[in-house]
Structure 1
Amino acid sequence: HTPTPSSTPTLSPTLPPSPTHILIPSIHVDAPILPVSWNPVTVDGQSQAIWEVPDTYAAGWHETSAPPGAGSNVVLNGHNTAHGEVFRDLYQLKAGTVITIYADEISYTYTVSDILILPEAGQPLEVRQKNAQYILPTEDERLTLVTCHPYGSLRYRLIVIAHPNGFEE
């Protein structure tokens, strides 16, 4: 028996468009967003992923994270010291601050709910892996911003978590 082609095309779900721009007026961030991936490295005999960070005034969207509006974790990183310092003043954000992410012609607004400063440099692998939980997929829509802290140092990770207000076309 030869299978006959179906006359009904199968539609695959389409994800919302990738983020293209970030706006945080309270700290004067108005920057493009570039997709970034990760590279495997070996540290103390352990393999781990190191995320690329744009080497210009831009935030990096972790390609394996969700696009805005997809109902999961939208992860953006950026330098605080070098290469444009896009997230230099991220530490000044407060709960309630509004962040706007653009994806094509759609704007998504998020409100900051949590700001975390976590020890990173020189920490055991278990601590760094626990810190990485903030960039994993989530069951709720959220925006996670990641940078180093304080200015000029890699000692800590500054994590900002924001939740959606909605989106407009």
Structure 2
Amino acid sequence: MRLVVRTLSELCLTVGALIVLFVVYVLYWTGVQATSASAGQIDALQRQWTNTPVAATPAPGALPYAPGRGIAVMYVPRLGRDWAWPVLEGTGADVLKKGLGHYAATARLGGTGNFAVAGHRRTHGDPFRDFPRLRAGDAVVLTDGTTWFTYRIARGPYRTVPTDVGVVDPTPVKSGFDGPGRYLTLTTCEPEWGSSHRLVVWAHLDATSPVADGYPQALAG
């Protein structure tokens, strides 16, 4: 009996240690990895833009974004003065470990249609941890190295289910937008530590300015 009790006790301690290690990995180590990866992506984009600036306006029929490659850097002042994440092409697990992901079937940045982006709410750096704080009128600013694109959120977060793929349509029906335009959609998981639902915000392009002119007004403060 003593041997059975000792064995069970040791087994419980081992399982408990593994659970603790897993929690540390999920809550801490994935964040360390994501922070390092996102900083590396931003640095790589900035070096690329310095050496070979992108065209301010994509030529008609421009090649699609390369899967897994950086597209832009996003800033959301509402989420913090230092909040900055790279946007990469695609929404696969490997991409979202490094930053935010652009839905490949949606529009190009600044183009007519809907430039849709996904990001983790928790783990892998928690980029959209404070997503519920977003409000109508908040700025979402992106740059592709040549141009600043300032979008304005149209309404607070909308809660829906993962199968509601219409939220990234060129003109999302539930966004309140009337007809074609230059839109931005952000999506993340809901609840905070689950994925049974999604939170969505929609924004419209409010202004553009050359990077050479300095930071846009939304980031100047």
**Over aligned residue pairs, what C-alpha RMSD do you find?**
2.2
* Match in the other structure for 2:124: 83
AA in 2 matched with 1:134: V
* Match in the other structure for 2:165: 132
AA in 2 matched with 1:32: P
Equivalent position to 2:183, from 131, 142, 164: 142
* Match in the other structure for 1:32: 86
SS of residue matched to 2:156: strand
Specify every segment of 5 or more residues in structure 1 that has no aligned partner in the other structure, as ranges: 1-11, 37-50, 122-127
Higher helix share: 2
* Match in the other structure for 1:21: 73
CA apart distance, 1:115: 2.8
AA in 2 matched with 1:34: L
SS of residue matched to 2:154: strand
* Match in the other structure for 1:106: 147
Q: Which has the higher contact order (CA 8 A, sep 6+)?
A: 1
AA in 2 matched with 1:30: A
Between the aligned partners of 1:117 and 1:84, the Cα distance in structure 2 is 23
Runs of 4+ in 1 over 3 A off after TM superposition: 14-19
Between the aligned partners of 1:132 and 1:102, the Cα distance in structure 2 is 26
AA in 2 matched with 1:150: P
CA apart distance, 1:16: 9.8
Between the aligned partners of 1:165 and 1:137, the Cα distance in structure 2 is 17
Between Structure 1 and Structure 2, whose CA radius of gyration is higher? 2
Between the aligned partners of 1:32 and 1:89, the Cα distance in structure 2 is 17
What TM-score, normalized to structure 1? 0.72
Between the aligned partners of 1:85 and 1:93, the Cα distance in structure 2 is 15
CA apart distance, 1:57: 4.9
* Residue 116 to residue 25, structure 1, CA distance change in 2 (3 Å): closer
Between the aligned partners of 1:160 and 1:98, the Cα distance in structure 2 is 12
What TM-score, normalized to structure 2? 0.56
